[in-house]
Amino acid sequence: MTDTSSFKAPKGVPDYLPPTSAEFVAVRDGLIRAARLAGYGHIELPVFEETALFARGVGESTDVVSKEMWTFADRKGQSYTLRPEGTAGVMRAVIEHNLDRGQLPVKLCYAGPFFRYERPQAGRYRQLQQVGVEAIGVDDPALDAEVIAIADAGFRALGLTGFRLEITSLGDETCRPQYRELLQEFLFRLPLDEETRRRAEINPLRVLDDKRPQVRELVADAPLMIDHLSESAKAHFDQVLGLLDALGVPYVVNPRMVRGLDYYTKTTFEFVHDGLGAQSGIGGGGRYDGLMAQLGGQPLSGIGFGLGVDRTVLALRAEGKSAGDAASCDVYGVPLGDIAKQHLVVLSARLRAAGIRTDLAYGGRSMKSAIKAADKSGARLALVLGDREVADGEIGLKDLRTGEQRQVALDDVVAEVTAALATE
């Protein structure tokens, strides 16, 4: 028999518990709000899809597909995978429901869990949470700038400041293949070890991202995509940078940036926070102009981002800031007797109906333990009611910050509480 006392969450999968879950909710909602302000409609997608969708969409040679997918067969042997990222699923839904036949761009945003079988460590989870946007069907540098500016504004609205935006262009279908050849020619001339050589064959760009100092030194003079852009890709990139300047969004061009997903073309970016150690990417995204056609849809362009909610929470903490209200309620009822409790149950419902977060002490607690619970809840006010006061039509309104208590008429409680909460 299973020992039920030893159940644990799967390795690398966080639980989000009060009071700190309030930070998670505030970060997630804050990032979604930034997208909503720019007209992105909510899309809610399945957490698992056919395995082939990710293999084809994200790229067989990526770590995400080759090493990190949570894949399983259903009862009929069909292979499914827990979504490792959001873009492929959004494209599948857009194609399946013909959203791309309506007004363009199709602007969608989403939030939720994604799954990657990575080695768990601080800021790297096997179930991670992202907020993402995708804008599909218009190849306009102004849209690139919008997507990037939304992410920047979302982070800043949460109070985050210690991050930087790194940006580059990965070229388009005219210049990328030529560059790839050029880079491979360069790499094949180097004394690379067997594995790195193989990587250079499959995905030469990845070699530029190698962290080992000896490889870094070898590739220091490698040709860079940014110096070999086609005229139109270069014009596109220059316009994006010009718009970011106009928007006041600071950036650093990083021509060696390599993203972990294969679908990127042209504008590609990452938000990096230095307070996070090795897992410093708090968000990333870019254009993926060939993806829709690759997944069987029209040859439409697209751009989007995925922002890491978990890492953004950690980044805020690293800056000594926190988001959200950890208090579970504003008002806490302290009943001293059964009749008083009946009254407080009804009163709590009235306060909640007036939009005031209210909780009360259940289970016949003493005054002392009920006030302790009130403090723990983070409430600002306690309503203290004894059986005898009920007869007098009065109730004690206690300010839990100052400890001051005064009697107010039971009939006036909603107005009195509202007024007390409005004062600082």
| Residue 158 touches ligand HAM, criterion: CB under 6 A | no
* Window of 170-178, 186-194, 302-310, 333-341 that interacts with ligand HAM by CB under 6 A: 302-310
Residue with tokens 């708090």: 282
Least distance between ligand HAM and beta carbon 239 (Å): 19
Is the CB of residue 125 less than 8 Å from the CB of residue 14?
yes
User: Does 28 count as an annotated binding residue?
Assistant: no
What distances in angstroms separate CA 323 from CA 34, 169, 243, 326, one per listed residue? 15, 33, 30, 9
> In this chain, which of 130, 168, 196, 230 binds ligand HAM, going by CB under 6 A?
130
Whichever of 267 and 348 has its CB closer to ligand HAM, that residue is: 267
User: What 3-state class would DSSP assign to 85?
Assistant: coil
Whichever of 312 and 377 has its CB closer to ligand HAM, that residue is: 312
> In this chain, which of 57, 59, 86, 378 binds ligand HAM, going by CB under 6 A?
86
* Window of 23-31, 122-130, 224-232, 369-377 that interacts with ligand HAM by CB under 6 A: 122-130
User: Does 406 count as an annotated binding residue?
Assistant: no
> In this chain, which of 128, 165, 257, 315 binds ligand HAM, going by CB under 6 A?
128
What distances in angstroms separate CA 177 from CA 18, 111, 231, one per listed residue? 51, 34, 15
Q: How far apart are CA 91 and CA 298, in angstroms?
A: 11
User: Does 279 count as an annotated binding residue?
Assistant: no
- Number of residue whose CB is nearest ligand HAM: 308
* Window of 19-27, 123-131, 214-222, 226-234 that interacts with ligand HAM by CB under 6 A: 123-131
Is the CB of residue 397 less than 8 Å from the CB of residue 417?
yes
Least distance between ligand HAM and beta carbon 26 (Å): 17
> In this chain, which of 308, 324, 333, 378 binds ligand HAM, going by CB under 6 A?
308
User: Does 146 count as an annotated binding residue?
Assistant: no
User: Does 130 count as an annotated binding residue?
Assistant: yes
* E-only strand ranges, 12-147: 41-42, 48-50, 70-73, 79-82, 106-115, 127-136
User: Does 362 count as an annotated binding residue?
Assistant: no
Q: How many CB atoms lie within 10 A of CB 20?
A: 13
| Residue 283 touches ligand HAM, criterion: CB under 6 A | yes
> In this chain, which of 134, 139, 152, 359 binds ligand HAM, going by CB under 6 A?
134
Q: How far apart are CA 305 and CA 151, in angstroms?
A: 8
3-state SS track over 279-347: CCEEEEEEECCCHHHHCCCCCCCEEEEEEEHHHHHHHHHHCCCCCCCCCCCCEEEEEECHHHHHHHHHH
Q: How many CB atoms lie within 10 A of CB 118?
A: 17
Q: Of 39-68, which residues contact ligand HAM (CB under 6 A)?
A: none
| Residue 269 touches ligand HAM, criterion: CB under 6 A | no
Whichever of 131 and 344 has its CB closer to ligand HAM, that residue is: 131
Residue with tokens 């989007």: 304
Nearest to 371 by CA among 382, 362, 387, 359: 382
Residue with tokens 């580059």: 168
* Window of 138-146, 187-195, 236-244, 282-290 that interacts with ligand HAM by CB under 6 A: 282-290
Is the CB of residue 110 less than 8 Å from the CB of residue 86?
yes
| Residue 335 touches ligand HAM, criterion: CB under 6 A | no
Least distance between ligand HAM and beta carbon 357 (Å): 31
User: Does 259 count as an annotated binding residue?
Assistant: yes
Q: Which residues are annotated as a binding site for L-histidine?
A: 85-87, 116, 130, 134, 259, 263-264
Interface residues toward ligand HAM, by CB under 6 A? 85-87, 116, 118, 123-125, 128, 130, 132, 134, 260-261, 281-286, 304-306, 308, 310-311
